[in-house]
């Protein structure tokens, strides 16, 4: 992600059938809907050519909607697992960032640290993690729970989760892998450390089973709107999606995040806050209106 002052950051959020729920039914949309990997590849390559910072894949670990009848009329009934999809897109692109969503409510830190480290390695340092705590009740029922964690509980777990993931990413020091064929030594053991973590929600010995990544730590992304959500975002995220579409609320959000971040010893410049837009592209204003 570019952090140059005065430079705007632009991300493309790729949905499997367009942003509008009925977009897959548009005559120009059908070929792109669903799991069509050529469509994802095309969008990622166009975004890269247009010098966007990253592509972003949202996720829910359940069917994306409660009402089956309504779902049958959208293309949201199926979607790729984001890390798998972005591993593919890493091979089809050269420099654009690759941000995958993964929930801290229905994962374990070791799995997540390992998967994002793998994406960062195989993409040459382009991985980002959108840290979510899950919002859809059905996700809980896919992971042995009758109901979702309570709001505060899920953010408490998320804070601890991210801390453990970061410790795992740091468990391999820079320069640990030496691949010294003369002395038959692949890595230096003193540079690879257990983390011996024991907390309220997690107990992880470490170290990670993959070396320090090109970025050291993949970029952390968050979009909390509640007090506990904003606290997590302000504490850990480099990129924050602003959930507001009116300027007054957006300004307050910006102010709250940056103030809380400074309480965590972070600089204002270390965080980029990105509001969402839905552009309709045409050669002329009229062409864009007609398309819509």
Give the residue with the Cβ less far from ligand FMN, 94 or 226: 226
Any contact of residue 135 with ligand FMN (CB under 6 A)?
yes
Does residue 98 have a cis peptide bond before it, meaning omega lies within 30 degrees of 0?
Answer: no
Question: From CA 211, how far away is CA 114, in angstroms rounded?
Answer: 10
Question: Could you say which of 55, 86, 132, 158 contacts ligand FMN (CB under 6 A)?
Answer: 132
Q: Which residues contact 220 (CB under 8 A, 6 or more apart)?
A: 128, 129, 131, 162, 236, 237, 238, 239
CB 104 within 8 A of CB 162: yes
Give the residue with the Cβ less far from ligand FMN, 19 or 196: 19
Question: From CA 137, how far away is CA 60, in angstroms rounded?
Answer: 10
Q: How far is the CB of 176 from ligand FMN (least distance, A)?
A: 33
Closest residue by beta carbon to ligand FMN? 229
Question: From CA 113, how far away is CA 116, in angstroms rounded?
Answer: 6
Q: Looking at 3-11, 16-24, 127-135, 255-263, which segment touches ligand FMN (CB under 6 A)?
A: 127-135
Any contact of residue 226 with ligand FMN (CB under 6 A)?
yes
Any contact of residue 243 with ligand FMN (CB under 6 A)?
yes
Any contact of residue 229 with ligand FMN (CB under 6 A)?
yes
Please give the residue ranges that form the binding site for ligand FMN (CB under 6 A): 58-60, 101, 132-135, 223-226, 229, 241, 243, 276
């Amino acid at each position: 992600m570019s952090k140059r002052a005065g430079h705007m950051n632009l991300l493309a959020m790729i949905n499997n059938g367009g942003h509008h729920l009925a977009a897959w039914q548009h005559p120009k949309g059908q070929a792109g809907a669903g799991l069509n990997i050529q469509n994802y590849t095309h969008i990622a390559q166009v975004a890269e050519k247009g010098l966007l910072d990253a592509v972003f894949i949202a996720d829910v670990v359940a069917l994306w909607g409660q009402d089956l009848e309504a779902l049958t009329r959208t293309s949201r009934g199926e979607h790729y697992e984001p890390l798998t999809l972005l591993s593919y897109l890493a091979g089809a692109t050269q420099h654009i960032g690759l941000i995958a969503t993964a929930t801290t409510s229905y994962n374990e830190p070791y799995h997540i640290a390992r998967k994002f480290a793998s994406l960062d390695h195989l993409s040459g340092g382009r991985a980002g993690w959108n840290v979510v705590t899950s919002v859809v009740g059905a996700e809980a029922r896919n992971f042995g729970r009758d109901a979702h964690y309570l709001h505060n509980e899920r953010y408490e777990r998320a804070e601890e989760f991210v801390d453990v993931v970061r410790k795992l990413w740091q468990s391999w020091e820079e320069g640990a892998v030496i691949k010294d064929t003369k002395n038959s030594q692949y890595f230096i053991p003193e540079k690879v450390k257990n983390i011996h973590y024991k907390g309220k929600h997690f107990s992880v010995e470490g170290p990670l089973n993959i070396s320090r990544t090109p970025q050291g730590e993949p970029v952390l992304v968050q979009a909390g709107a509640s007090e506990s959500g904003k606290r997590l975002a302000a504490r850990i995220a480099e990129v924050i999606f602003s959930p507001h579409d009116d300027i007054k609320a957006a300004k307050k959000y910006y102010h709250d995040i940056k103030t809380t971040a400074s309480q965590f010893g972070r600089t204002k410049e270390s965080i980029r806050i990105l509001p969402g837009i839905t552009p309709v592209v045409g050669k002329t204003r009229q062409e864009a209106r007609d398309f819509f």
